[in-house]
């Protein structure tokens, strides 16, 4: 087996769970989940459905009986400690504040929830700093963030040299100089070699540092007492943040599922509790419901959904694998039909062009509620008066269920790529 396949298999094993839910027996968990997820019996044969259903009932009864005689089978709590910071008026930043990286790793490796503030996605800042300080690596362990930074520097150097060369050529044309100078030819060859070097580069790119000049010092001028060595202890300074949609999905879907499923290993608990009508202000209630409705709609189809601000859209969607295995295939642009948010054709086409440059397709999602504006005014008044989180969650989910979603796949026609 090649090294590439072994690495791919390790990644598949590491990211095997699409959600932070672990089962005592994976096969039993899958069977039980399949029974719960079957909404239309016509998609599954009656024989298979009854077979899976009977097996699941037997497994559940046997587990309950064992649990009566053995207390060690009781599920343990998987606690995720969070911090809610009111950054702007009525806008909260949600971050994971565990003593070590185990809590954020659990969310990342089981569904790609969250993002590191000093990394592209997975929080790797601490490991990158350790790799830089470790002289044994000798630059072989280069992270993706460093590779991107190095390649951007190389492109910048190439553009600067190309601009200088073009200016000199233009000056020669204006002065009617037909025979180019030898120096200019050498600069052109240097520029071409640099371009070829960048184009051929497929592995890890590392800048060669300039040699440090040796300085001879007289031993009499310095003594051991004058040397004051300072050691800086490296600590993990990277925050791990969750979007409001990710937090709500973990809270309202995943956490409740771990507590209701009889064969899950852990009860996922997010603490501390924060009232939903405090986290979601009245002014953002309707928009948050729409955003969450689409997020949960895509998540329930086992897609990996991340923030799409970088590409000018609401979400980017990975096709059931995640950012470690591939680039996002789709960008999701949301149109809230009944909120009077006008979106011109130019707005859609400009975002489509940005997505097209990164080889992504656009999913245009139209969402609206069956409720009228007068009903929303009453809902907002009731939302601010709710006292318990249970009431807030129930009302929020009821409002989500009243949303209607329609989606259209858009592709950009390009004359260069779509010739007949």
Selecting among 159, 327, 404, 411, the annotated active-site residue is 327
Examine the residue annotation and report whether 318 is marked as an active-site residue of this protein: yes
Q: State the CB neighbour count (10 A cutoff) for residue 250.
A: 22
Provide the terminal-to-terminal Cα distance of the chain, rounded to the nearest Å.
42
Structure tokens at 250: 């973990």
Selecting among 78, 251, 306, 360, the annotated active-site residue is 360
- Does 272 sit behind a cis peptide bond, omega within 30 degrees of 0 on the bond before it? yes
Residue 355: Cβ-neighbour burial (10 angstroms; 0-12, 13-18, 19+):
buried
CA distance 306 to 299: 10
CA distance 118 to 105: 15
Strand partners, 367: 336, 405
Residue closest to 287 by CA, chosen among 364, 248, 339, 348: 339
Question: Nearest 5 degrees, angle CA 338-CA 341-CA 346?
Answer: 130
Structure tokens at 281: 């202000």
CA distance 406 to 410: 13
Selecting among 15, 106, 318, 330, the annotated active-site residue is 318
| Catalytic sites, residue numbers | 318, 327, 360
């Amino acid at each position: 087996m090649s090294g590439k396949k072994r690495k791919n298999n390790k990644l598949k094993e590491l990211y095997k769970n699409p959600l932070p839910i672990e089962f005592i027996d994976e096969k039993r968990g899958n069977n039980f989940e399949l029974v719960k997820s079957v909404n239309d019996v016509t998609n599954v044969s009656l024989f298979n459905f009854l077979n899976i259903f009977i097996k699941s009932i037997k497994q559940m009864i046997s587990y309950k009986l064992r649990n009566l005689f053995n207390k060690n089978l009781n599920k343990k709590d998987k606690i995720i400690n969070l911090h809610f910071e009111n950054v702007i008026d009525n806008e909260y930043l949600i971050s994971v504040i565990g003593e070590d990286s185990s809590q954020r790793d659990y969310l990342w490796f089981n569904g790609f929830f969250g993002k590191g503030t000093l990394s592209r996605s997975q929080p790797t800042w601490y490991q990158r700093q350790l790799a830089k300080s470790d002289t044994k690596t000798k630059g072989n362990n280069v992270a993706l963030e460093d590779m991107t930074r190095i390649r951007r520097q190389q492109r910048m150097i190439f553009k600067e040299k190309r601009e200088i060369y073009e200016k000199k050529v233009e000056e020669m044309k204006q002065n009617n100089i037909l025979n180019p100078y030898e120096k200019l030819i050498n600069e052109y060859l240097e520029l071409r070699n640099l371009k070829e070097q960048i184009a051929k580069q497929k592995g890890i790119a590392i800048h060669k540092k300039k040699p440090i000049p040796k300085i001879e010092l007289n031993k009499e001028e310095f003594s051991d007492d004058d040397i004051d060595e300072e050691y800086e202890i490296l600590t993990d300074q990277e925050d791990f943040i969750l979007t409001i949609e990710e937090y709500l999905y973990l809270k309202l879907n995943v956490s409740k599922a771990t507590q209701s499923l009889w064969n899950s290993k852990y009860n996922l608990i997010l603490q501390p509790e924060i009232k939903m009508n405090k986290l979601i202000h009245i002014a953002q209630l309707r928009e948050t419901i729409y955003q969450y409705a689409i997020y949960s709609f895509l998540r329930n189809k086992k897609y990996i959904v991340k923030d799409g601000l970088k590409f000018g859209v609401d979400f980017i969607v990975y096709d059931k694998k995640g950012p470690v295995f591939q680039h996002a295939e789709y960008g999701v642009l949301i149109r809230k039909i009944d909120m009077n948010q006008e979106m011109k054709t130019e707005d859609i086409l400009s975002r489509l062009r940005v997505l097209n440059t990164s080889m992504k397709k656009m999913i245009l999602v139209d969402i609206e509620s069956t409720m009228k504006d007068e009903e929303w005014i009453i809902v907002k008044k009731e939302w601010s008066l709710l006292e318990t989180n249970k009431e807030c969650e129930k009302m929020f989910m009821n409002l989500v269920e009243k949303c209607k979603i329609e989606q259209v796949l858009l592709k950009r026609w390009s004359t260069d790529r779509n010739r007949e």
